[in-house]
Structures are given as structure tokens and as C-alpha cells.
Amino acid sequence: MQIIEASKRPRVSLGHFPTPLEPMPNLSRMLGGPSLYVKREDCSGLATGGNKTRKLEFVVADALSKQADTLITQGGVQSNHVRQTAAAAARFGLRCEVILENRIGKDDVEYCESGNVLLDRLLGAQLHVVPSGTDMRAAMEDLAQRLRAGGARPYVIAGGASTPAGSLAYADCAEEILLQARSLGIRVNHVITATGSAGTQAGLVAGFRMLKSDAAVTGIGVRAAVGAEEQVLRLARAAADLAGFEGEVESSRVRVNCDYLGAGYGMPTPAAMRAIWLAARMEGLLLDPVYTGKCMAGLIDLIRKDYFDEESAVVFLHTGGSQALYGYRSSFATAPVHESGTHCI
């Protein structure tokens, strides 16, 4: 594509691209707002998919160029990024060492051993679990030093693969969305995505800017609100620089809404749980309590607040993560209830 060709960045093949862009007619009709579409990054193919696959195509290529034999990364216990990194390592015959932070302090077997954790182990990752509040960058570097002392050649991958090169992958995705929208005969006005480590939103912002599209991007924050927009802008500008873009990515293009975070990262909210049930029953779409459930809750609330023009086409970027549902099984014991007192389904 235009942006990737301009960047001349090395890239390996890990995913099934382009991922589908599909209408959500039932939710659109029920909510009575703009026309809703879903960009199915959960269908990217690597170990059941997710948004990190695009990023890892660039990051793993860099690791291989440096002759690394081990990938090191980090995330929360039910990290989707860790699962996809472990799968990428397996694909290229690399070791994978992972530091998992128990950010929410849960110690039940469901959360600590099922879902993504089970898949991490199946994919061959070596897991090191640390308590909440651990300095993860320092922990990864300490692990890398120990591995180097033993003769290994480790390559450290930032959480979420949210590096400038990883963000560039979502500039590529922005171009993909516009091409698919054109084939569907629609004009994308808005993209909404979960924002954690910031690379996905940053790449989309950079991509639309480089392509001279006025499509807006709103991130629904799923981690601490402080500094979120600054981090998105920094990565967006770095991704644009990698692509050789000579213009400016304006700060006005970055919008992060953290109103739907709740008690914190990985902590389910009632609105997110209702959104998960609703997406499943209305569209056959599987979301998760950590990222996409909160993002969908934000989208629903923003539609009700008339944030979007009714004539707009809004794309919900599905970053994946339904594997984590198994780690939250007890949260689904009963169907959530609407504010009216009736079950949401």
C-alpha cells in the first residue's frame, strides 16, 4: 500500500490481511444513530487474532534483522499482546520470555491460568508473573541482561508493540479501511477504538492525516487517563516520520475519552458487561471486559449523547481479546440489567 511502500520498513508475514469491514445493521437500528461498521482485527489470524498482529509484522522483522533468538515482552495477566507475541516467536523459531503483571490482584485459577494464559503456555512462552506496580521496563531489561549473560540474543518488545514501527502498521490499516469503505460505497466519518498502549490509535491518526482524510479517530481509554493524548500524539508523529511524511500531525486530531475506564485497567464495568451481552446477542460479535467491551460501551453512550451525526458512518475497530472472556467467567453468571430494570437482552 501507499504508506507502507513509502516507509520501506522491513516486514514479515503473520496475519490474514485485509481483515473484513462489516456492517452492524442490528446495532445501528437499535441505537438509532449513525450507520455502524466493524473492522474485524480480531480476524487477523495469528493465534486467534487481534490488533497486535499488524504491529508484530514490523517489530519481529526488526528483531530478525538484528539476529535475535529470543523475544521479550510484557503485559497484564490476560494480555492479548503477549499471546500474539508468543505465536509470532513460535512461527519464526524464537524463544519467548514474558513478564506478566497481575495489575488487578486477582488470584483465582480462572484468571491466572485460563484464557490467554493457557494459550501463552501452549505456544511455548516462558512466563514470569510479577505483582502490580512493578517497573515493567526495568524488569524486561533485567531479564534481557540475564539472558545475554547466558549467551542469548534477546530483543525487547514494548508493551502492546506500541513503538513507532508498530504504530506505522495502523497507518497501513487506515488506508485499508478507506479502500474497503470505497468498495462498499460509504465514506468513513469516524473510527472508534480502545486505547491502552496507544499505538493503534496513533497509527490510525497518522494514517488518515497522511492520506488527507478527514476521518476522525476517538480512543476510548482503558488505562490511566494521565498523558494518554500526549502518548498517542508522540507515536502518531513518530509513525508519520518513519513513512517520510513531511507535513504535521496536528494535536487537534487526537481525542482520548477515559470516561468509561471504571475502577481501572482490567476491571469490568457494568456498562462494558452490558455492551458485551448486547454485541453478542445483536451481532454475534464477541467482545471482552478489558478493551473492546469498554470501547463498545463508550460508543453506545456517545451515540445516545448525539456525539456523531446521524448520517455518519462510524467504524468500531475490534482489537480482539475474546480469549480473555474465559478469565472473567464468573462475571457472566447473570445477564446485566438496563437502567430501566429490565435485562439488557
Whether 296 contacts 179, CB under 8 Å: no
For the question of residue 79 being annotated catalytic, the response is: yes
Catalytic pick from 7, 28, 44, 79?
79
- Cα separation, 225 vs 229, whole angstroms: 8
Strand partners, 343: 337
Q: Which residues, in sequence order, are CB contacts of 270 under 8 Å at separation 6+?
A: 336
Cα-only R_g, the chain:
19
Q: Which single residue is written with the C-alpha cell 503473520?
A: 14
164 prior amide bond cis, ω within 30:
no
Q: 151, 158, 89: which is closest to 124 by C-alpha?
A: 89
- Cα separation, 332 vs 328, whole angstroms: 7
CA dist 38 to 17, 41, 174, Å?
15, 9, 13
Residues with a known catalytic role: 79
